[in-house]
């Protein structure tokens, strides 16, 4: 029997009563999951990743004023290679969603954690202190060293989640995205802040760490301490606060300076464009091409007409140089992105931008396919509205 731990230990704004109620709710669910594994007798060690591993969950209230967990429950099931194809395990996520619909549970099956890296390795190292179920001993994961490239990739992931969200593009919702675009909006800004701390000695683990470092000089050019505190609270108590009016593109530009190799904050747009072009010229593979083109597009939204056209020209140029051997999903429509024929200014909410995003979503499917092939060896075109990527926390 696993001793219950405080899942809300690092929560900043949850009241003691909410923490008590949420812990009771989740530990009851974990006991149900534990019983399922015990009944099946499957050799496994089960953890929760993401925000539950960091002990900083997000909650919400239903229309009937009932407390609910808003964070995903990302179960990581470490089992033997022989059981990776076990029908019950492969169907476990669907079973949990059907029988426990009050939680958004995902299940990732792994047989080896020795190569765990990035934020995932740090979350798992935390989760290993409190396994949900444990039928055999597993070697402890050593948290991966802070890697600037991984932090850059996390930012691209969050930017994509926010601006390619169905509520921006006008497409229907799907399992890959949160119900509300504003949750991705909050997480994007918090990642803009969290990834400024690039050294182990900074001791930045979760979003709660950002709260305690909200007065750090490294954040001053991005966001003021008061707004940071509001965003942390808005994430923990989702749907209860009015978000401050923030210039998301300005925040994005300021936060990406360190990821693009700048060691100062007084960077001009010409310097930003030159740096994006310089970096994009190093490879025409879809993975870097998508990333730098995405940044050029997003940076264009904060510009006057002339500045926007300069960024959009770079956006199209990067994609014209991109290798098309592995392009499948966007193949027939790639010209929409490369021809640069947008006659009206693009803004976050106008129809011209929404139409462009619909095509960019197709490019992202090809990008994710190549990313998955690189990371896992899997080769398929993902449906980003039904296929879940590995949890990012």
219/213 Cα distance (integer angstroms): 8
Joined together, the tokens standing for residue 274 give 């030159």
Secondary structure class of 246 (helix, strand, coil): coil
Contact between 358 and 171 under an 8 Å Cβ cutoff? The reply is yes
- Distance between CA atoms of residues 290 and 309, nearest Å: 19
What local confidence, expressed as pLDDT, does residue 274 receive? 98
Domain assignments of the chain as residue spans, ordered by start: 16-134, 148-376
Identify which of 133, 91, 83 has the alpha carbon closest to the alpha carbon of residue 110.
83
Cα torsion at 232, 233, 234, 240 (round to 10°)?
A: 180
Look at domain 16-134 and name its CATH class: alpha beta
Instruction: Strands of the chain (E only): list them.
Output: 44-48, 59-61, 67-69, 73-79, 105-110, 133-134
DSSP sequence for 133-186: EESS--PPPPPPPP-HHHHHHHHHHHHHHHHTSHHHH-PPP-TTS-S-HHHHHH
The pLDDT tens digits for 338-369 are 997 787 899 888 888 888 998 999 999 999 88
Question: Quick one: pLDDT at residue 376?
Answer: 53
**Sheet strands side by side (includes 73-79):** 105-110, 73-79, 44-48, 133-134
> Residue 269's pLDDT is what?
95
Question: What is the Cα–Cα distance from 75 to 155, expressed in whole angstroms?
Answer: 23
Name the one residue in this structure whose structure tokens are 């675009």.
Answer: 181
pLDDT score at 284: 96
**What are the residue ranges in the chain where pLDDT is below 70?**
1-3, 144-146, 166-180, 374-393
């Amino acid at each position: 029997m696993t001793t219950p731990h405080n899942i809300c230990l690092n929560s900043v704004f949850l009241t003691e009563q909410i923490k008590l109620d949420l812990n009771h709710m989740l530990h009851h669910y974990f006991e149900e999951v534990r019983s399922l594994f015990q009944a099946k007798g499957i050799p496994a060690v089960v953890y929760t990743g993401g925000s539950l591993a960091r002990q900083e969950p997000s909650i919400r209230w239903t229309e009937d004023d009932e407390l609910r967990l808003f964070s995903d429950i990302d179960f990581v099931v470490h089992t033997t290679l022989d059981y990776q194809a076990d029908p019950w395990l492969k169907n476990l996520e669907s079973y949990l969603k059907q029988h426990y619909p009050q939680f958004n549970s995902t299940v990732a099956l792994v047989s080896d954690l020795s190569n765990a890296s990035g934020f995932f390795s740090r979350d798992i190292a935390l989760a290993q202190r409190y396994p949900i179920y444990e039928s055999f001993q597993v070697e402890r994961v050593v948290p991966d060293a802070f890697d600037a490239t991984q932090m850059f990739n996390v930012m691209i992931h969050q930017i994509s989640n926010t601006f390619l969200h169905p509520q921006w593009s006008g497409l229907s919702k799907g399992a890959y995205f949160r119900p509300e675009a504003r949750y991705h909006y909050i997480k994007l800004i918090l990642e803009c802040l969290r990834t400024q701390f690039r050294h182990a000695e900074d001791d930045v683990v979760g979003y709660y760490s950002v709260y305690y470092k909200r007065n750090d000089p490294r954040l001053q050019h991005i966001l003021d301490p008061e707004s940071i505190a509001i965003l942390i609270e808005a994430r923990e108590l989702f749907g209860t606060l009015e978000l401050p009016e923030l210039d998301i593109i300005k925040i994005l530009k300021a936060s990406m300076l360190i990821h693009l190799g700048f060691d100062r904050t007084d960077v001009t747009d010409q310097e930003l464009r030159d740096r994006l072009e310089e970096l994009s010229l190093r490879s025409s593979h879809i993975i870097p091409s998508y990333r730098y083109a995405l940044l050029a597009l997003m940076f264009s939204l904060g510009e006057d007409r002339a500045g926007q056209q300069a960024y959009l020209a770079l956006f199209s140029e990067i994609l014209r140089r991109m290798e098309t051997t592995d392009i499948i999903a966007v193949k027939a429509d790639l010209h929409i992105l490369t021809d640069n024929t947008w006659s009206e200014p693009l803004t976050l909410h106008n129809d011209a931008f929404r139409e462009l995003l619909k095509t960019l979503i197709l490019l992202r499917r090809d990008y994710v396919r190549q990313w998955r092939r690189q990371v896992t060896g899997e080769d398929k075109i993902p449906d980003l509205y039904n296929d879940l990527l590995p949890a990012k926390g």
